[in-house]
Structure 1
Amino acid sequence: MRWKLPAGVLMALAFLVPSAPAMAQIEPRVLNEACQTVERKVYQDIRELVTIDLDTATNTEVRVLANQILAAAKADSLPVLPDAIQERLDGTADDLRAFLKTDLQNSWSTALRATVVRTLTGAGTNVKAAAQKALDEGTIDGYLAYLNDGMYAARALDCAAQPTPTATTQPTSTPSATPSATTTVVPTPASSTSLGAPGGEGGGLPVTGDNTAAVASIGGALLLLGGAGYLIGRRRRSRFVA
């Protein structure tokens, strides 16, 4: 029983070794329509999936193959082909087998051609030329070569030919220290508070000059009247007592 474990390990390695280079392979980054660096999209060659004899394969094997092709077509976002395969999968086994034998390549070629046409939207001069060359050739190999390599090479040329945008700076205006002729000088409002008035409300300068003399005259007259009244009152009192 000991030999089964090493044999199982060897079988597992046999499956992993062929896939190791594919896992280690990293696709180089490419430019998209906006000339930005993105991951490369690789369209799969569906012919590589057909590893069975469609004449002698069982219905189950044919159905498994059809589902593999359907998954690849959806991963590549191909038009037409996914719907055509799904329609046959929903039908009979004979219709599915006949489609894979006779109509698969035609439907796949139509889907690849439509995908090439899509890349013409907003394309540059070099991309348009490369796409037109693939369309004129009209073969599956030509479409795949353009979509996987030719389109990216042409796009790199178009992006390199684009002018490099330059930053434009506008001079900043420096305000002048000297007022212009049209400048209006607003006078500073004077405070209503007088320097000589305590309290600051309604005050004015101290009263001097003629006003002082008038006040003194009135005061003297009032003083004389008061003295006269006092003398008159005293005389009346003395007469009354006598």
Structure 2
Amino acid sequence: MSWKFPAGVVMALAFLIPAAPAVAQTEPSGLNEACQTVERKVYKDIRELVTIDLDTATDREVRVLTAQILAVANADSLPILSKAIQERLNGTADELRAFLKADVQQAWSVDLRITVLRTLTGAGANVKAAAQNALDDGAIDTFLAYLNNGLYEARALDCASQPTPTPTSQPTSTPSATPSATTTVAPTPASSTSVGGGEGGGLPVTGADTATVAGIGGALLLLGGAGYVIARRRRSHFVA
């Protein structure tokens, strides 16, 4: 039962180990799926953590190394590797040593493949092509190269090829047409009144129409007077 205490110690070390090997580092900024500038996520090469000879290392060294790998797996969201390590922590040091020598890279490779597949969601043509090349190769180095660099380079190409959105012009407020005052045309006296003051209390005709009527009347009087004089002369001449 003495192995249970070291297992608990290893679980604690996974959270207490210095952040440098555990937390995913960041590099110069890159673009995310929405073409927004973000910090790049760098996936740690777990093989760089193995600085001891697993065949000659002490049990304590093996468990410390296991805690470091577990911390990286948690930081990089590698669920398969994290679960596998936690299961092995309940075994003996020799079982844990054998796992580190033979099975760590296999579980890690599966996690990296899944991570590459996740980048295909909503990806552009360049990202899809780069991801497919990495999946076809299947090597851990290829997965890491894609996730740490190739993904961002391909995404930059996809974002650059997208059409620039045309800014929508804000509708300018046009002043509403001022309602023009309705011009009321006053009826002329000639059209609104009856000649000679007919029914309805119309006013008598005045102005230019009155002068015309008066002129015609005067001419008729002159014609009548001339006719009267001519007729009278003829009558007088007949009597004589």
Using structure 2 for the length normalisation, give the TM-score.
Answer: 0.62
Counterpart position of 1:92: 92
CA distance in 2, matches of 1:120, 1:69: 27
For structure 2, the residue ranges without an aligned partner over 5 or more in a row are 1-24, 183-240
Counterpart position of 2:153: 153
CA distance in 2, matches of 1:40, 1:148: 7
Deviations 1:89-142 (A, max 9, x none): 122212111100111111111111011011111111111110000000000010
Higher relative CO (Cα under 8 Å, sequence separation at least 6) belongs to 2
Match runs of 1:89-168 below 5 Å:
89-168=89-168
Contact 1:30/1:37, CA 8 A, preserved across alignment: yes
Letter in 2 for 1:43: Y
| Greater than 4 Å deviation, 4+ residue runs | none
For structure 1, the residue ranges without an aligned partner over 5 or more in a row are 1-24, 182-242
Counterpart position of 1:210: none
Match runs of 1:18-57 below 5 Å:
27-57=27-57
Match runs of 1:133-212 below 5 Å:
133-169=133-169, 170-179=171-180
Number of residue pairs aligned between Structure 1 and Structure 2 = 157
CA distance in 2, matches of 1:109, 1:179: 80
Contact 1:81/1:108, CA 8 A, preserved across alignment: yes
Deviations 1:157-178 (A, max 9, x none): 1111111111222343431113
SS at match of 2:40: coil
Decide whether aligned partners of structure 1 residues 180 and 94 sit closer, same or farther in structure 2, where only a CA change above 3 A counts.
farther
Contact 1:79/1:115, CA 8 A, preserved across alignment: no
Counterpart position of 1:209: none
CA distance in 1, matches of 2:97, 2:26: 36
Decide whether aligned partners of structure 1 residues 122 and 180 sit closer, same or farther in structure 2, where only a CA change above 3 A counts.
farther
Letter in 1 for 2:175: T
User: Post-superposition shift, 1:179?
Assistant: 4.8
Identical-pair percentage = 70
Letter in 2 for 1:94: D
SS at match of 1:35: coil
SS at match of 1:99: helix
CA distance in 2, matches of 1:129, 1:49: 31
SS at match of 1:113: helix
Using structure 1 for the length normalisation, give the TM-score.
Answer: 0.62
CA distance in 1, matches of 2:168, 2:161: 21
